[in-house]
Structure 1
Amino acid sequence: MPVPTEISRLARGLASDCFDATTRDRHTLVLKRLGDGAPARLARRIRRELAGVGPFEARPDGVGTFRTPPVGRGPVAYIRIESPTLVELHRRLCTAFEPIDGIEGDDYVPHVTIARGGDADRLLGRDFDNLTWEVESLSVWSAEYGEEVERISLPIR
């Protein structure tokens, strides 16, 4: 999902307090990993699965860490994202696309990664002003190309 500029600024500001962690240049919020396939075909399938979904709210809710992430080095500091609709959409997509063990399905934690490794865990427990944004679109991201290849506007018709 596209992350608003305010959330990216928040993540960069928090990351500036790390001395030897690897910080993120691009901030994302993963709704569901889709696997391989033609982006246009995947987007059509998403539209079918999420037909009728309109814009919804999401908000950052503090900083958490994955001490031992299933992939890559830890700890991973992240901004927790609170949104019941986001979690419901993830569940719906997990019925259409196989969930990845350890990070999706019941293990899914909506988040924006701040930093990984080193002293990233020093950010744990940070709090910040309440920011809320309206999610108005979803992105289909291609790992192969390293970019957004399709955008799905909400509401999905």
Structure 2
Amino acid sequence: MYSVNAPVPPAVNELADDLRPALSAFARVREWHERTLLLKRVPADDRKELRTAWQTAKDALRGAPAVEARVSEVDTFDDPPNGSSPVVYLAVESPGIHELHARLCEVFEPVPILEGGDDYDPHVTLARDADGFRGRRAVENVRGREVGPVTWTIEELELYDARHGERVDSISLPA
């Protein structure tokens, strides 16, 4: 899967690292290099389709400004529409991110239940997949926890390859 993501600043990674002890019951805890803010999934099956899709995304983002984002709370998806559960994440507040997401949804069909309208919930995933009593207790201990806050300006977006866990290209904002 490819996606348009916003990298997170070191201060967000520091918040996440501070929460690691509370996430020990989770089977998968994201490392600093895996933490990003997903804006929109991009459909592409090969490199040729990817080049075309990335150009489409850049065209949709043309003129888009840099945007402010803020993290101040930990939340959970107890029953996410895909993947293992629960998911613990840093909730991201940003009207600007919603605007960028809407631009991308105009050119790429939103993934049902995840991306359309009110379904898009900007976040930075910290951990997923904890079960049993220990898992439930871990979720209760972090859900709603206030952190930070950390506020930053998103001045760059990246094309991200989830399969290889790497950045493919980037675009500066304003675009």
- Which category describes the TM-score, using the shorter chain as reference length? over 0.9
Q: TM-score, normalised by structure 2?
A: 0.83
The answer for the alignment partner of 1:53 in structure 2 is 64
CA RMSD, aligned part only? 1.5
**Percent of aligned positions with the same letter in both sequences?**
40
Contact 1:66–1:75 (CA<8 Å) still a contact in 2?
Answer: yes
1:24 aligns with 2:24: no
Deviation, structure 1 residue 143: 3.0
Runs of 4+ residues deviating >2 angstroms: 37-43, 143-146
Match of 1:130 among 145, 149, 155: 149
> What stretches of structure 1 of length at least 5 have no aligned partner?
none
Q: How many residues align?
A: 156
Q: Which sections of structure 2, spanning at least 5 residues, go unmatched?
A: 1-5
Q: Is the 8 A contact 2:87 2:128 kept in 1?
A: yes
**What does 1:1-157 align with in structure 2 at a 5 Å threshold?**
1-21=6-26, 22-25=28-31, 26-36=34-44, 37-38=46-47, 39-106=50-117, 107-118=119-130, 119=135, 120-121=138-139, 122-156=141-175
Tell me the SS of whatever aligns to 2:73: strand
User: Mean alpha-carbon deviation: is it higher for 5-14 or for 34-43?
Assistant: 34-43
Higher helix share: 2
Task: Summarize the Cα distance change of 1:76–1:153 in structure 2 as closer, same or farther, 3 Å threshold.
Answer: same
**Counting strand residues as a fraction of each chain, which structure ranks higher?**
2
